[in-house]
Structure 1
């Protein structure tokens, strides 16, 4: 477990505390953030306005397994300090990666949080393009009719997209919250930046919604193919039933074996009935061909 109370960047009042350390130092804020449930139960991104700042949680889907894997941590923002509450060490790893990126203003806790939010979304559009390519591959395989276990695959994709959709929607709402708070404090720069972030998260959310619609269309296409195959099978069964129905009538008719049926005692009766059945069969097939029922 990696924890620190030290500033992580020069001239940047950013700290990382464990949940236990934060609860001991800021008991009122911790109850507002965690609602007495603890950091492990954080399920979504939120921002709560407090008397002296803003606090909330992050629940970031793991890009390798968005449905079940999440990075959860909390934060507490005041005018002079930004505290991350994390027991896993993920936040420290994120901030180390941010050192290679240009920062808006490392001396401002609020703007550092903006940079942190931007960092979370920096490669997400490329990540979503991978989903689009995956769905396109599924469509090609579907058209070539060589896709096995399609329902399980498309269901997994839709679950992942639903998790990402909720995540981006929460980030968009979070950005709007910070934008409103900045407007109340007449912080024009912060208001503009958080507005841009909210718009970016909203665009990602719209992209995910588009991908979800795409997945629904693929599922409908797959169902249409199944219906067409079933219709072809029913068509064959209908033709077979129609072809042999007159023959069934003939066999049933002479299967009554009445004594006064002259055909039963006639020398060539069996051969004549066979010829009649073949003629009926060829006439039916000829009608089917003319009506193009075999196509």
Structure 2
């Protein structure tokens, strides 16, 4: 279990120091220590913790917390295995369950690259989502370049291995389209704040998450249409 106090900067603290803190904190742990960590964070969750069952990005409201899951495609293999995360939020703290230390690496990247690392849960969630979506624009640009090269080959009459090349691209784009749609809905659910856990002025961060996912989904849809045009040609 790793604990970060949210003080503008992400300050790592020990469980013994937790009682001295008045600010919110983020707890990162694995599934084997999930229940213990939830107790330490004083978060009550009525459900089963199982990363194996995580297949979508979604969030649901419970009486005492928000319970969410993230199923994040690995950029080096979109069609392969995913980063699977469960997270829990109440009116003070946040717990992230991750068996691969992917979340911890994201937090460490936030510490290295961002001046304001999260003075609130809302700002931290924005930074966290932004970090794992950081390279998506670059990924889509790579897919666009591949499609442009395929189009040039088709115009030059070079159609060998065409279907073998374009089919995986379309499959990856379809996966990404669904993924961005889920992230967009998740951001909207956070912004609606059914439980009243977030400060009104801070909920703008969730709208920014939704907007970013919406833009990425829009570009993905455009690339799918482009891929269809190239295939038809």
Query: Are 1:171 and 2:168 matched, yes or no?
Result: no
Provide TM-score, normalisation by structure 1: 0.67
Paired residues of 2:24 and 2:92 also in contact (CA < 8 A):
no
Instruction: Pick closer, same or farther for the CA change 1:158–1:30 going to 2, 3 Å.
Output: farther
Query: Are 1:212 and 2:216 matched, yes or no?
Result: no
Paired residues of 1:13 and 1:107 also in contact (CA < 8 A):
no
Query: Which of 47, 62, 65 in structure 2 is aligned with 1:31?
Result: 47
* Offset at residue 15 of structure 1 (A): 1.1
**Worse-matched range after superposition: 99-108 or 128-137:** 99-108
Paired residues of 2:72 and 2:82 also in contact (CA < 8 A):
yes
Report the counterpart of residue 6 of structure 1 in structure 2.
3
Could you list the runs of 4 or more consecutive aligned residues of structure 1 that deviate by over 4 angstroms after TM superposition? 24-28, 182-186
2:113 match: secondary structure: coil
Unaligned 5+ segments in structure 1 are 222-295
Provide TM-score, normalisation by structure 2: 0.83
CA deviations on 1:185-218 (whole Å, 9 max, x unpaired) are 6733222221122111111101000100111111
Unaligned 5+ segments in structure 2 are 12-22
Report the counterpart of residue 160 of structure 2 in structure 1.
148
Query: Which of 163, 169, 175 in structure 2 is aligned with 1:157?
Result: 169
Paired residues of 2:29 and 2:37 also in contact (CA < 8 A):
no
CA distance in 2 between counterparts of 1:158 and 1:99 reads 36
**In angstroms, what is the RMSD of aligned CA positions?**
2.3
CA deviations on 1:118-160 (whole Å, 9 max, x unpaired) are 2122232122111111100010011112232111211100110
**Worse-matched range after superposition: 42-51 or 4-13:** 4-13
Report the counterpart of residue 17 of structure 2 in structure 1.
none
CA distance in 2 between counterparts of 1:12 and 1:101 reads 21
Query: Are 1:193 and 2:205 matched, yes or no?
Result: yes
Paired residues of 1:19 and 1:87 also in contact (CA < 8 A):
yes
CA distance in 2 between counterparts of 1:165 and 1:14 reads 29
Instruction: Pick closer, same or farther for the CA change 1:112–1:168 going to 2, 3 Å.
Output: same
2:4 match: secondary structure: coil
How many residue pairs are counted as aligned between the two chains?
214
CA deviations on 1:233-282 (whole Å, 9 max, x unpaired) are xxxxxxxxxxxxxxxxxxxxxxxxxxxxxxxxxxxxxxxxxxxxxxxxxx
Report the counterpart of residue 109 of structure 1 in structure 2.
121
Query: Which of 54, 71, 94 in structure 1 is aligned with 2:83?
Result: 71
Instruction: Pick closer, same or farther for the CA change 1:16–1:184 going to 2, 3 Å.
Output: closer
Paired residues of 1:182 and 1:188 also in contact (CA < 8 A):
no
CA distance in 2 between counterparts of 1:171 and 1:202 reads 9
CA distance in 1 between counterparts of 2:74 and 2:231 reads 25
Instruction: Pick closer, same or farther for the CA change 1:189–1:39 going to 2, 3 Å.
Output: same
* Offset at residue 95 of structure 1 (A): 1.0
1:154 match: secondary structure: helix
* Offset at residue 101 of structure 1 (A): 2.6
Report the counterpart of residue 20 of structure 2 in structure 1.
none
**Worse-matched range after superposition: 102-111 or 145-154:** 102-111
